[in-house]
Amino acid sequence: MKILHIETSSKNCSVAISDVEELLCVCEEVSENYKQSESLHTFVEWALEGAEISLKDLDAVCLGMGPGSYTGLRIGSSAAKGFCYGLKIPLIAVNSLETMIEPFLSQNFDYIIPLLDARRMEVYTAVFDGISGNMITETEAKILDETSFQDFKDKKVMFVGDGSTKAKEILQLPDAEFSEMFYPSAKYLVKKAVGKFNNKEFEDVAYFEPFYLKEFQGVKKKKSE
């Protein structure tokens, strides 16, 4: 069962190849300039070469479906759907926040809370059980303030993601830990993808849309006088 994994929801453009749950190759780069449009297809080519397989060997494509960067998600989704159409293989989608908790499971945290920067004081977030990894609260766009996450003030909590930087400055949670330079990664899609493949939890390629969570907000240019 060979799966191509694509994760483009954040500053990390990430591609991986797996065979069942064995990670064969991963190519990724974190860039402040969001290089998905420049790097994604090159990373796919490199990952296939590193795994020593070709596109025709793939059994499925797994996409980190968001939330996250609107443009990044569109690029990743378009590529994943194109591969699925062309190769006639199924599409699997996984919440990108779920790819951020795996390295921190079973480390004696009561809760793991991903925080993806959504500009200003807003983050994309959800709360996960620190042992089972089960999602406890639904994914949401949350504006941070001093009272955020106070329900967890007496618990051992790990906040992960680039949104943790601004959270660390204002949250009144003295026992919380923060892993700020951590992003969704294709290599952490593998386990979820295998489970969904075995259960035949596939997306309708024709109608699939990423989990944008918020509508795209462009900047209106001023009219020239």
Query: Residues 37-87: pLDDT tens digits?
Result: 899 999 999 999 999 999 999 999 999 999 999 999 999 999 999 999 999
Q: Are residues 106 and 63 in the same domain?
A: no
Range of the domain at 54: 2-96+184-198
State residue 32's pLDDT score.
Answer: 85
128 and 91 part of one domain: no
Looking at residue 216, its pLDDT comes to 52
The sign one gets for the Cα dihedral 8, 10, 13, 18 is: negative
Report the distance separating Cα 225 and Cα 219, nearest Å: 18
d(CA 129, CA 110): 6
**Are residue 86 and residue 125 in the same domain, yes or no?**
no
Same domain, 159 and 115: yes
Phi, then psi, of 32 in degrees rounded to 5: -65, -20
**65 inside domain:** yes
114-137 mean pLDDT: 95
> For residue 221, is pLDDT > 50?
no
Residue 225 in this model has a pLDDT that exceeds 70: no
Question: What gap in Å lies between CA 14 and CA 125, rounded to an integer?
Answer: 20
Q: Which residue has the higher pLDDT, 38 or 19?
A: 19
Does 115 share its domain with 12? Answer: no
With vertex at residue 37, the alpha carbon angle to CA 1 and CA 218, rounded to the nearest 5 degrees, is: 120
Q: Is the peptide bond before 67 cis (omega within 30 degrees of 0)?
A: yes
Domain count of the chain? 2
DSSP letter (8 states) at residue 135: B
pLDDT of residue 119: 86
Over residues 20-46, the pLDDT tens digits come to: 999 999 999 999 888 898 999 999 999
CATH number at residue 121: 3.30.420.40
Burial grade of 135 (CB within 10 A; 0-12, 13-18, 19 or more): middle
Q: By C-alpha distance, which of 3, 215, 214 is closest to 93?
A: 3
E strand or H helix at 64 = strand 60-64
The residue to which tokens 């194109």 are assigned: 82
- Give kind and range of the element (H or E) at residue 15: strand 12-19
Instruction: Tell me whether residue 210 is in a domain.
Output: no
Task: Tell me whether residue 116 is in a domain.
Answer: yes
Residues 158 and 129 in one domain: yes
Reported as a pLDDT band with limits 50, 70 and 90, residue 106 is confident
CB atoms within 10 A of CB 129: 15
Q: Dump pLDDT digits (tens) for 133-179.
A: 999 999 999 999 999 999 999 999 999 999 999 999 999 898 899 99
pLDDT at 219 over 60: no
pLDDT value of residue 215? 61
Residues 83, 120: one domain?
Answer: no
Contacts of 161 (CB under 8 A, 6+ apart): 100, 114, 115, 116, 117, 123, 179, 180, 182, 183
Q: Give the pLDDT confidence score for residue 34 in this predicted structure.
A: 81
Taking 70 as the threshold, does the pLDDT of residue 218 lie above it?
Answer: no
Is residue 58 located within the same domain as residue 160? Answer: no
**Is 188 found in the same domain as 92?**
yes
CA distance 149 to 133: 18
Look at residue 223 and tell me whether its pLDDT is greater than 50: no
Kindly report the pTM of this predicted structure: 0.92
Quick one: 53 and 89 in the same domain?
yes
